[in-house]
Amino acid sequence: MTFNTALDSIKIYEAGLPIELAVRKYGIAEYEVVKLASNENPLGASPKAIDAIMKVAQNAHLYPDDSMYVLKESLAKHFNVTSNTLIIGAGSDQIIEFCIHAKANHTSKVLMAKTTFAMYEIYAKSVGAQVIRTSSHEHNLQEFLEAYKAYKPAIIFLCIPNNPLGECLDSKETFEFLKQVDSNCLVIIDGAYQEYAKAKDSNKALNPKALMEAFPNVIYTGTFSKAYGLGGMRVGYGIANVKIIQALSKLRPPFNITTPSLAAAVVALEDTEHLQRSIENNLEQMPLFENFAREKGFKFTPSYTNFITYYLEYPLDSTEVAEYLFKKGMIIRNLASYGLNAIRITIGTHVQNEKFFALFNTYLKQK
């Protein structure tokens, strides 16, 4: 059997290892495994959101409300936009996939940073588009501008803050860059970690309404998987002008969000106290990782997310480090698949973080 030749150049996305694998492979008790690999909220979902899931479970035999009216209205109020400027997806990556299929094809070019979310490239290549990357690992808007002028891409990806490195563009420089982009080029701003970034530095905060009103070619995507703690529910959203939303809606499959997911997202958005606790935990614990890196001599990217990336140097090897920790029940993200000798660690609770430091210290003493 033959398949679309565009698949030949695509590498399978490597998700963070699951807790269940450590249990099966090494016989570690599930309660002893700590997962700091996938940037999930270590405090979990809002208890109120969990209650909402349980309440709608009795309607599991019914299809969800495909209009997603309640969630759209809640998001519209939250961002001070109208509901017809919103589209809901199974995670924000589904919105990104819609964007690629709506705008790009085998004649298109798609521009992104050298090191950024792997699914951008996968979706772009799935339609045969040519991927253009900047020379810097992190977002350098001068390089983006030069590449934009040279290649005239159909789509530009800006991950603000950037996954998997953690750096974050200022809102002012982002707006200045966007002013120089033609209105027929779709700019996708991935704001999956914006809740953390704007809490740490208001200069990093992006206003989706302001973006939409100033730039008709921009779509802002967000998610409930990170700060809101609903990674298992798979709910994301896109905010853009009505023309973009109408185009993307033609690609959205019916009932793409489950009833429990819709209910959980609405309540999570309302539970500002849980969100604030989650952000405060992140702000309190992040300095511990920065200090640890300085003590050990690791380079790291100052992070505006809920994770931090350590760059390792010989004789340390990221694959060996990740495997050692995995065998001890500590799951982190090995960034070797990104071509980096680096590890990414989600900021957990104080207890989880201390366990990471202890295990990593033990490993380092053996080197």
- Whether 20 has a pLDDT exceeding 90, the answer reads no
Q: Where in the chain does DSSP place strands (E)?
A: 34-35, 86-89, 109-112, 130-133, 155-159, 186-190, 218-223, 236-239, 299-300, 307-311, 330-331, 333-334, 342-346
What confidence tens digit (pLDDT) does each residue in 215-270 have?
999 999 999 999 999 999 999 999 999 999 999 999 999 999 999 999 999 999 99
The full DSSP string for 134-170 is -SSSS--HHHHHHHHHHH--SEEEEESS-TTT-----
DSSP state letter for 237: E
Residue-number span of the structural domain to which 320 is assigned: 5-45+273-366
Check whether residue 242 and residue 212 sit in a common domain: yes
Nearest partner of 259 among 233, 238, 236, 237, judged by Cα: 233
How far is Cα of residue 148 from the mean position of the Cα atoms in its chain? 24
The DSSP element (H or E) to which 352 belongs, if any, is: helix 350-366
Check whether residue 36 and residue 51 sit in a common domain: no
Check whether residue 31 and residue 88 sit in a common domain: no
Amino acid at 315: P
Check whether residue 122 and residue 257 sit in a common domain: yes
Among candidate residues 271, 290, 309, the one where a domain is terminated:
271
Check whether residue 266 and residue 279 sit in a common domain: no
Among candidate residues 218, 250, 271, the one where a domain is terminated:
271
User: Alpha-carbon distance 290 to 345, whole Å?
Assistant: 11
State the pLDDT at residue 212: 96
Q: Categorize the per-residue pLDDT at 23 as very low, low, confident or very high, splitting at 50, 70 and 90.
A: confident
Among candidate residues 252, 271, 290, the one where a domain is terminated:
271
What confidence tens digit (pLDDT) does each residue in 78-130 have?
999 999 999 999 999 999 999 999 999 999 999 999 999 999 999 999 999 99
What confidence tens digit (pLDDT) does each residue in 276-334 have?
999 999 999 999 999 999 999 999 999 999 999 999 999 999 999 999 999 999 999 99
In the chain, how many domains are there?
2
- Whether 17 has a pLDDT exceeding 80, the answer reads no
Model confidence, pTM: 0.95
User: Alpha-carbon distance 175 to 199, whole Å?
Assistant: 20
State the pLDDT at residue 3: 85
What confidence tens digit (pLDDT) does each residue in 124-164 have?
999 999 999 999 999 999 999 999 999 999 999 999 999 99
State the pLDDT at residue 29: 75
Q: In the structure, how many helices (H) and strands (E) does the chain have?
A: 14, 13
Q: Categorize the per-residue pLDDT at 13 as very low, low, confident or very high, splitting at 50, 70 and 90.
A: confident
Check whether residue 169 and residue 56 sit in a common domain: yes
Contact at 8 Å (CB) between 132 and 153?
yes
Q: What is the dihedral of CA 192, 195, 200, 203, to 10 degrees?
A: 80
What confidence tens digit (pLDDT) does each residue in 318-359 have?
999 999 999 999 999 999 999 999 999 999 999 999 999 999
Check whether residue 208 and residue 162 sit in a common domain: yes
Check whether residue 88 and residue 224 sit in a common domain: yes
User: Alpha-carbon distance 271 to 39, whole Å?
Assistant: 20
User: Is the four-CA dihedral 189, 192, 193, 198 of positive or negative sign?
Assistant: positive
Check whether residue 177 and residue 197 sit in a common domain: yes
Return the percentage of the chain with pLDDT > 90, whole number.
90
Pairing type for strands 109-112 and 155-159 reads parallel
Tokens of 136: 């810097």
Check whether residue 9 and residue 103 sit in a common domain: no
